[in-house]
Structure 1
Amino acid sequence: MDATVNACIGSDRLFDSPTTMNASVAIESEMKWISGMRPILSEEDFFTWMSLIIYVTLFVALIGIISNLLVIITCARIGFSETINISYLALGIADLMASATRFYGSIFLLFEITTTKVHFDPRTVSSVVAFLPSQGFEKTAAFITAFIALERCLCVQFPLHVKTIVTKRKTIFSNVIIYIFAFGPSNLIHMVYRFKWVYNATQNRTVLAIDQSETRLRYILARALYAYYGTILNFTALIVVWICTVYLVLGLKRKAVARKENFKTSFIKDNKQKDLQVIKTVFLLAVTYLVCSIPTAITLLVPQFVPEFGSTRALARISRVSYMISGLMMQVNSCTNFFIFLYMGSRFRKALITLFKRH
């Protein structure tokens, strides 16, 4: 596969996103090869890894679409008498959209590596219509996970007052605010980038692409979005979930004796067991998010200590593959919530079984 196809796989630097396709690094490295340095990953191995990750991402994203549709339908059937179900529904919607955008974004990349002739430029179009929105939805899901974990921490700390602290109205308002601040900014890119017909030398025809002529406003906005999604939102959600997860573990241990003393009637016991089950579910959601976020955190931190990472011929392909794996792991996080609900939630299982029995 020639260098032209290699360059086409990546996205333009202005569209970079830390957990998807920071592939412009690979493009620039091809332009600025350092003499005497050989790539650690051969071209053949590079495209093998790329193909494997793309196909796996497509499979995982498809599972995410199906599973999160089931989460949304099942949560709607259970109802929203409890505030936690409102957040579960919001989480399911965010994960569904993250899976959908990453699914068709991966199809665009598949067009590139298979040199399929299409009437648009998959590299630039996918960056705007797929991977940047995917970033927004993934960060939305991350902050909803953080909100759910924080809500459970309040339940542990203030068990008698949590109903007044966390109300339905406050829960709906909080989730809407999360969507606005986590997903909303990803749409700003449409203010400065426009679709236009350009000549594609590889396909020898005119295709639909994104106008990449650089202006100061475009550069500032693209850098701001990269910093916002790659650093601010990413590490803020990570830190909040870490703190809440640790607090949940410590809080459960601290209140274990108190729970046993309060198990005086079967009614109280059932309620306590139910609360404990919800806390365990939230704990699994938080831990899953933390585990899946580790590759993203590493790929964001490594360039701070190894500036050559992705900026030289020797490391560019490794950098590209690492970003692809980071995106895949975030997609894994988007499709696991259904299985956690299915394993931990008795009401969820019953509602799901009833749904399938009716159909």
Structure 2
Amino acid sequence: MTLNVTQPCQEVDNVSSLSTGEEFITVAQLYYILLSICALTQVFSIGGVVTNVINIAVFVKLGFNETSNMSLLTLALSDLLSTILTLWGTLCITPGFSDAELPFLPTEIAQMTGAGLSMFVLRCTAWVTAFISFERCLCILIPLKVKKWITPKTTTAVLVAICITTIGPSIAVYWRWNFMWKFLPGRNATVLGAAVVDTPAVVLLDTVFNIIFGTIQPIVAFFTVLVCTVFLVVYLRRSSQWRKSMVSAGGEIAGGDNSSRFELKRNISRKEEKLVRMITSIANIFIVCYTPNTLMFLNMAIFPSFSLFGQHRNVFILLYLVSVLANSVSASVNIFIYYNMGTRYRNALRLMFHFDSEDSVK
């Protein structure tokens, strides 16, 4: 077995534009961009760790009588793991830390313990978001049947299957990369690094996995969320128009029984609408923040030279850093959506921190 040792971040030099062949970004420019993006990403990642720990505690406190809480808990767990891996990965490639005389090579170890694994966790986040959006669409289309289909048991099974099929294939990272001790003459020291396995079988297996789990899987998840979000937005608009028309009709209803019955229907509609609005907001943020990932996956599928070791590696690194920053932002802001749109979440959070609740706890 031939091991071809490489150092990913040291491979960078002047590259050509994807379309014209002219220089697009220099090493010096990439250095300062990398420094700025890594700093921002670490700030949002730290915030993501804190906010998702809070989210997990709140959803556990709320319980799992509602399947939506189970899905949102899984989303918070995925975001937490993603932000931890992102925080470690960006620290390893940050200029200064990566150049320090550590007992390991940060830029190489990050590929195996940070950057490589975080991409698989992000795919888990994508599919959990897709499932949440799709579940809400079913609740709108077939409200009577969906309660029989989507039970706590089936939701658990689906979420476990998503985690296995998205995070499980991360083992592929270790097919192509191995830990390896390296002697550095300049430091007169042996440090832990990584080596790339270039045997035909491993390269073929890595290629197949990249096509299935690195391109097709995340792109399908992205467009599933996109389609479901469009449907939910259309539903919200129609629901808003319906409620306005019912409010006008309600003023003409005579008798307490009819008025009470109408008020009950209107309250149920508002409760459903609030949940749909919350999920739509989560999906919208996901779409915006996951777009750089989707563009990166599409470019990798279309342009073979668009990779870490290809001709356009500088552009690849730049788009990858932007996507990592966007994902860290997405993972850290959901708490604000939950707090502003979820009454039960807000009550549980206020009680957890011993604040006086302004809403009635149900």
TM-score (norm 2): 0.82
Q: 1:42 Cα shift? A: 3.4
Quick one: distance in 2 between partners of 1:132 and 1:177? Answer: 21
Partner Cα distance (1:199, 1:65) in 2: 36
- 2:344 is matched with which residue: 344, 347, 355? 347
Partner of 1:176: 160
Out of 239, 242, 245, the residue aligned to residue 229 of structure 2 is 245
State whether residues 35 and 95 of structure 2, in contact with CA within 8 Å, keep that contact through their aligned partners in structure 1: no
Per-residue deviation at 1:300? 3.4
- Counterpart Cα distance in 2 of 1:45 and 1:163: 55
**Structure-2 residue corresponding to 1:43:** 27
Q: Quick one: distance in 2 between partners of 1:333 and 1:215?
A: 38
Shift of 1:155: 1.0
Paired position in structure 1 for 2:3: none
Output the CA distance in 1 between the equivalents of 2:165 and 2:70. 18
CA distance in 1, matches of 2:286, 2:108: 29
Structure 1 residue 166: Cα displacement: 1.3
C-alpha displacement of 1:313: 10
In 1, Cα distance between equivalents of 2:213 and 2:185: 33
Count of equivalent residues: 334
Q: Give structure 1 stretches of 5+ with no counterpart.
A: 1-6, 12-23
Query: Where does residue 332 of structure 2 map in the other structure?
Result: 335
> In 1, Cα distance between the equivalents of 2:290 and 2:24?
25
Q: Which residue of 2 aligns with 1:296?
A: 293
Q: Which residue of 1 aligns with 2:118?
A: 134
Matching residue's letter, 2:165: F
Query: Paired residue for 1:164?
Result: 148
1:231 pairs with 2:218: no
Q: In the alignment, is residue 356 of structure 1 matched against residue 353 of structure 2?
A: yes
Q: 1:290 to 1:202 in 2, by over 3 A?
A: farther
Aligned residue among 34, 39, 55 for 1:55: 39
Conserved? CA contact 1:41–1:314, under 8 Å: no
Counterpart check, 1:272 vs 2:269: yes
Residue matched to 1:10: 9
What is the alpha-carbon distance in structure 2 between the residues aligned to residue 289 and residue 316 of structure 1? 26
TM-score (norm 1): 0.83
If asked which structure has higher relative contact order (CA below 8 Å, sep 6+), I would say 1
Query: What is the CA deviation profile of residues 310-334 of structure 1, one whole-angstrom value per residue up to 9, with x for unaligned ones?
Result: 7999954333212211221122222
**Which whole-Å deviations, capped at 9, do the CAs of 1:49-68 have from their partners, x for residues lacking one?**
11111111111111111111
Moved more, 84-93 or 110-119: 110-119
Which residue is equivalent to 1:21?
none
- Kindly name which structure, 1 or 2, has the bigger radius of gyration based on alpha carbons: 2
Q: In 2 relative to 1, CA 165–208 (structure 1 residues): closer, same or farther, beyond 3 Å?
A: same
Residue aligned with 2:183, SS: strand
Q: Please give the alpha-carbon distance, in whole angstroms, between the structure 2 residues aligned to 1:138 and 1:335.
A: 13
What do the CA deviations read for 1:267-320 (whole angstroms, capped 9, x no partner)? 433332111111001101111111112222233334666777679999543332
Displacement of 1:82 in angstroms is 0.7
Which of 50, 68, 73 is the matching residue for 1:89? 73
Q: Distance in 1 between matches of 2:279 and 2:60?
A: 19
Deviation string 1:16-62 (CA, Å, 9 cap, x unpaired) is xxxxxxxx6x46x77x9xxxx87433332221111111111111111
Using a 3 Å threshold, how does the CA distance of structure 1 residues 224 and 125 change in structure 2: closer, same or farther? farther
Cα distance 1:171–1:114, how it changes in 2: closer, same or farther (>3 A)? closer
User: Would the aligned equivalents of 2:98 and 2:106 in 1 still touch at CA under 8 Å?
Assistant: no
Q: Could you say which residue in structure 1 is the equivalent of 2:314?
A: 317
User: Cα offset for 1:69?
Assistant: 0.6
Q: Report the AA paired with residue 284 of structure 1.
A: S
Q: Percent identity?
A: 25
Residue in structure 2 matched with residue 14 of structure 1 by the alignment: none
Aligned-partner Cα distance in 1 for 2:279–2:112: 33
> In the aligned structure 1, how far is the partner of 2:109 from the partner of 2:219?
28
> Residue 143 of structure 2 aligns to a residue in which SS?
coil
Cα distance change of structure 1 residues 129 and 225 upon mapping to structure 2, 3 Å threshold = farther
Q: Which moved more, 1:312-321 or 1:116-125?
A: 312-321
Cα distance in 2 between the residues matched to 1:230 and 1:304: 9
Q: Distance in 1 between matches of 2:275 and 2:159?
A: 19
Instruction: Give secondary structure in 1 for the equivalent of 2:144.
Output: coil
Amino acid at match of 2:224: V
Partner of 1:104: 88
**How much is the aligned-residue C-alpha RMSD, in angstroms?**
3.0
* 1:229-261 alpha-carbon deviations (Å, 9 max, x no partner): 431112100111111111112233445566665
Map 1:63-78 onto structure 2 (within 5 A).
63-78=47-62
Segment of structure 1 superposing worse, 185-194 or 279-288: 185-194
Q: Secondary structure at the match of 1:230?
A: helix
Q: Can you list the C-alpha shifts for 1:55-104, whole angstroms capped at 9, x where unaligned?
A: 11111111111111111000011111111000000000001000001111
SS at 2:147 equivalent: helix
- Asked if the contact 2:38/2:94 (under 8 Å) is kept, the reply is yes
